[in-house]
Amino acid sequence: MKRIIVFIIVGFLLLSLGFGGGLMAGRLWLSPDNGPAKSSVEEPGPVFFVGDFISNLSGSGSHVVNFKLSLELSDPKAMEMITSPNWIARIKNEIILLAKDRVFEDLTSAEGVLSLAEDIKRTINAIMPAVRDKAPVTRVLFESFVLQ
């Protein structure tokens, strides 16, 4: 009988210690003051205005896309490289070719425009050398976008 009472008391003590320890750990680790630092917003990199683009779209009908495009770059070194007239000409050429491959229906939704932006980013990063082991372009930014 004594053995059962000892097991019950030891079990109750272990349960109480575990519960109390869990409360203490939760207050210590999950409190807003001592918790992990709030996620900081990533600072934008340098932004380079590429230019205005007007292009006919492929497919039936006479549709035109008109947009202003900027590139957010990963590093100021990328800005130095991309401002070279040779790179600007190649980048503009690739953007025009990518826009001409689209059909009107592709660009009527935000998803289609984001797909174009992703293709532009991927293509430019493929033709340009990496800067400090990073792709030079981090985002493609449309300042205006009109379909007709």
What Å distances lie between residue 69 and 47, 51, 110, 147, CA to CA? 10, 6, 16, 15
pLDDT (0 to 100) of residue 131: 86
CA distance linking residue 114 with residue 118, whole number of Å = 6
Burial class for 20, CB neighbours closer than 10 Å (0-12, 13-18, 19+): exposed
pLDDT (0 to 100) of residue 16: 83
Write out pLDDT tens, residues 25-51. Answer: 777 777 666 545 556 787 888 999 999
What Å distances lie between residue 97 and 69, 90, 141, CA to CA? 14, 11, 18
pTM tops 0.95, yes or no: no
pLDDT (0 to 100) of residue 97: 93
pLDDT (0 to 100) of residue 38: 57
Measured in degrees and rounded to the nearest 5, phi and psi for residue 69 equal: -130, 135
Write out pLDDT tens, residues 6-21. Answer: 878 888 888 888 888 8
**What would the two tokens of residue 116 be?**
């174009």
Closest CA to 123 of 93, 145, 146: 93
pLDDT (0 to 100) of residue 20: 82
Do residues 33 and 7 touch, judged by C-beta distance below 8 A? no
pLDDT (0 to 100) of residue 32: 64
Q: Which residues of 28-51 are buried (b: 16+ CB within 10 A; e: fewer)?
A: eeeeeeeeeeeeeeeeebbebebe
pLDDT (0 to 100) of residue 36: 52
Q: Mean pLDDT of successive 10-residue segments in the chain (148 residues)? A: 83 82 78 59 88 89 92 90 90 93 90 94 92 90 93
